[in-house]
Amino acid sequence: MSIRSALLLATVAGAAFLFVRDAAALPSDTPVVMYTDIASGPNSGGENNHGAYLSIFGKNFGSNGLGSLVKVKIGGVEVDNYRYLGLAKGRVDIQQISVQIGAIGNPTPGTSLPVQVLVNGIGSNVDQTFMVNPGRILFVDNVLGNDTTAVPGDIAHPYRHVQIADITKAAYGAMARGDILVMRGTGTAWTDLGNDTYFTKFYGKHGTAPTGASGTGPFTLMAYPGEDVFIDVVGNATQKGAISGVDTTHYDGGLWITIADLRIESGGNAGVIAVQIDGDHWRVVNNELTAATATNSAFAAGINGNGTNSYWVGNHIHNIAGGALQQNHGIYIDGDGSYEIAYNTIEHVSGGNGMQIYVNGDNGSDVGNNVNFHHNLVHDISKHGINIADGSQNNIKLWNNVVYNTTFASLRFNTNTLHGAKIYNNTFFNADTSGSSNYGAITNDWNLPADAIDMENNIVWPASGMAYTDGSVGFAAGIGTISKNLWFGGIGGYTFDAHPVTGNPLFISASAADFHLQPASAAIDAGSTAVATLLSNDFDVVVPRPVGSGIDIGAHEYEAGYVYDRIFAGRFE
């Protein structure tokens, strides 16, 4: 069999990334669709009357031939035109295709249609869907726009402002349910302020579920495909943040919101994207979110808040500052709801934790439930990588995450209400770089119930000379199932692990943040099969579990002959 290699060279934030793929060694050349930016929209109106723009994210999309070798079908019908094939904003090993959908056969509105990518005639999975739903496309241009002469649906007559203090005016004032507001990236940063010192606050309006009927659907704020739309909200002590919802228990607005494909720097004290209280159905996808100018009093995150059916996927959250309080996190869940948080890169957080669940009754609820946190890359964090804290309770699942270079714990517990948390196949490396005797790679600071955790198949490798576990309470048998975790490179015991695995996991190169396994790794085929009810693949997504005679320990499954994505320079160094 001949060896075919695909090279993709790109520049992201001034850093070069080289991805090498040995196609003959892949488990399959089949493209894999993982998620989309929007889930519904019109198939007419807008630019050239060809409807909504849609971005599809996944793997094995190829590196050229968009529209010829690489095609997209919705409901079995090819889209109208193609705009972009390249890297996504979140994890740099995930690809993005952007299209304008067109009529796609004029299907019945309100029907969920399968989204499929075809590469050289080979079709992807079809479990991701898109719904045709009535709505308009409103263009906003901060260089050429004019709020007075703007015409909804006309790219030649855009609005100037997304929102101003008077929410009845500008594009926001014109928006109705199902509308998509498309911002242009013309090289000039967006620095406007709308309601309540936010760039945009979703106050006084809320979307609904799309049903195919006029007057239904989410409010969508997104970037024009292929353009760098940069919202630059440099904060001060009295300013809040970039994008916000409202406390929906007391105010109107903030439901069914989609934020996609933007680049946002948010100062102030309220975070980058603040869903707020009971902000149900927020879809936050493929954004680059930073808060390097956050005030020292910031008490928020790149994404923070709470709500049902929260879908926070494929974002790059980085350089989140916040000062000595250490309460400005990468992602912060502060109330009850349901959360799908996946395929994000969360890095260089100097203001707090990578991901935190902390619920104390101040934000509409006393407990936090239903969190799926998986396939995320979390590193270089000034506090804990993942903090499962006060009020964390039921149906919390952490799997296939890579967490490394954390000042304190990779994973910390500080809750006495936790039940049945599933913590499967994560890689925790170089934890407690501070050298503090108060922390271990896994830390517990409260009395966990007898059924608190099911922790299996994790690699635990602390910073040199540091403890595997610690905390004011620590770990002991009797807090759930702890089995077949691999313990290496640290100090202290792990007798609470019913079937511990020892030995070097033999990463390809920990110093280069490549945590794939070498052939002689102690992690290979050594894991528990109990996790199979949740896991079907590994961190790379395209590698199934198991490969070989058993499930491997850690976030990566070893497959002989597979040439993994390598990052030679850039933000992972």
- Per-residue model confidence as pLDDT tens digits over 63-91: 999 999 999 999 999 999 999 999 999 99
pLDDT band at 396 (very low <50, low <70, confident <90, very high): very high
pLDDT value at position 11? Answer: 30
pLDDT tops 70 at residue 3: no
Q: How far apart are the first and last CA of the chain?
A: 35
- Whether the pLDDT of residue 502 is over 50: the answer is yes
Alpha helices in 133-234 (DSSP H): 170-174
Q: How far is CA 431 from the centre of its chain?
A: 22
CA distance 529 to 424: 11
Q: Which residues contact 572 (CB under 8 A, 6 or more apart)?
A: 92, 347, 379, 512, 513
Residue with tokens 């996190």: 329
Of 82, 70, 88, 73, the C-alpha closest to 12 is 88
pLDDT at 216 over 90: yes
pLDDT of residue 458: 99
Indicate the DSSP class of residue 562. Answer: -
Taken as a whole, the chain contains a residue count of: 573
Q: What percent of the chain has pLDDT over 90?
A: 89
User: Mind listing the pLDDT tens digit for each residue in 363-383?
Assistant: 999 999 999 999 999 999 999
Whether the predicted pLDDT of 2 surpasses 60: no
Amino acid, single-letter form, for residue 531: V
Given a cut of 70, whether residue 565 has pLDDT beyond it is no
> In the structure encoding, which two tokens stand for residue 89, read together?
């904003």
Give yes or no for a contact between 146 and 160, defined as CB atoms under 8 angstroms apart. Answer: yes
Model pLDDT, residue 323: 83
- What are the tens digits of pLDDT across the range 333-354? 999 999 999 999 999 999 999 9
In this prediction, residue 297 carries a pLDDT of 85
pLDDT tens digit sequence for 411-443: 999 999 999 999 999 999 999 999 999 999 999
Average pLDDT over residues 525-549: 97
Contact 188, 228 (CB under 8 A): no
Tell me how far apart the alpha carbons of residues 364 and 396 are, in angstroms, rounded to a whole number: 19
137 and 150 Cβ atoms separated by less than 8 Å? no
The CA distance from 144 to 98, in Å, is 24
Local confidence band at 236 (pLDDT 50, 70, 90 cut-offs): low
Cα–Cα distance for residue pair 322/306, rounded to 1 Å:
21
- CA-nearest of 150, 141, 272, 282 to 200 is 272
Q: What DSSP character marks residue 457?
A: S
Compute the distance between CA of residue 18 and CA of residue 431 in angstroms, rounded to an integer: 28
**pLDDT tens per residue across span 287-328:** 999 999 998 888 999 999 999 999 999 999 999 999 888 999
Report pLDDT for 290.
98
Across the chain, mean pLDDT equals: 93
Asked if residue 264 has pLDDT above 50, the reply is yes
Residue 116, both tokens: 């499929």
What residues form DSSP beta bridges with 285? 260, 313
Phi, psi of 488 (to 5 degrees): -155, 145
> What pLDDT does 239 receive?
79
Please report the pLDDT score of residue 235 as a whole number: 72
Compute the C-alpha angle 426/431/435, nearest 5°: 165
> Which token pair is 351?
């203001």
Tens-digit pLDDT profile for residues 171-203: 999 999 999 999 999 999 999 999 999 999 999
Amino acid identity for residue 392 in this structure? S
In sequence order, the 6+-apart residues with CB closer than 8 A to the CB of 49 are none
Backbone angles phi, psi at 399, to 5 degrees: -150, 150
C-alpha distances in Å from residue 226, one per residue of 58, 84, 86, 113, 223 = 17, 6, 10, 25, 8
**Three-state secondary structure call for residue 387:** strand
Is a pLDDT exceeding 80 seen at residue 17? no
